[in-house]
Amino acid sequence: MIVLTNYLIVGSILFVLGAIGFLARRNLITLVLSAEMMLHGVSLNLVAFSNFHQNMQGQAFTAFILTVAACEAGIALALILTLYKRSKSLDVNLWSQLAEADIESPHEEEPAVPTAQPTQEFPHLTPAGRSPQFQKETANRV
């Protein structure tokens, strides 16, 4: 006996986490991935109901969800590439001026670049052989 509610709970958790990721992240690719995770939650619901009713209609709907997800990913990638070509960045906040001009920006201006630069590492040569001894007379000759 399969418990229907368990699968619905997992599906709703996946849906909500995808929604949170869609709302909170700023990378365009992460946004699209979060939307795909919301689709995962929905298709889990459909498959669970399909098994609960013992007919194939939920699974057929999930097949259509797969088709739509594939189309969505293709078009989303084309759009992301176009946007990237214009702004040289995947930041979604750069496109917030698409809203009405007199609406204030929903995100606060943040101090820039907290990214930790990788520390520059120079190659070390392991010492080989004896270290040269300076003798006094050679130093004097030079």
- The 3-state DSSP class for residue 3 equals coil
CA distances from 38 to 14, 15, 42, 58, 80 (A): 6, 4, 6, 17, 19
Taking CB under 8 A as the rule, does residue 78 contact another protein?
yes
x/- site string to another protein, residues 3 to 22, per CB under 8 A? xxxxxxxx-xxx-xxxxxx-
Residue 99 touching another protein (CB under 8 A)? no
The token duo for 101 is 């001009």
Count residues near another protein (CB under 8 A). Answer: 80
Phi, psi of 91 (to 5 degrees): -75, 130
Q: Which of 63/99 has CB closer to another protein?
A: 63
Kindly report the number of other CB atoms within 10 A of residue 133's CB atom: 6
Q: How far is the CB of 97 from another protein (least distance, A)?
A: 15
**From residue 36 to residue 65, what is the string marking binding to another protein with x (rule CB under 8 A)?**
xx--x--xx--xx-xxxxxxxx-xx-xxx-
Of residues 118-137, those binding another protein (CB under 8 A): 118
Closer CB to another protein, 115 or 131, in the complex:
115
If DSSP codes are grouped into helix, strand and coil, which group holds residue 114?
Answer: coil
**Least distance between another protein and beta carbon 88 (Å):** 9
Per DSSP, the three-state class of 78 is helix
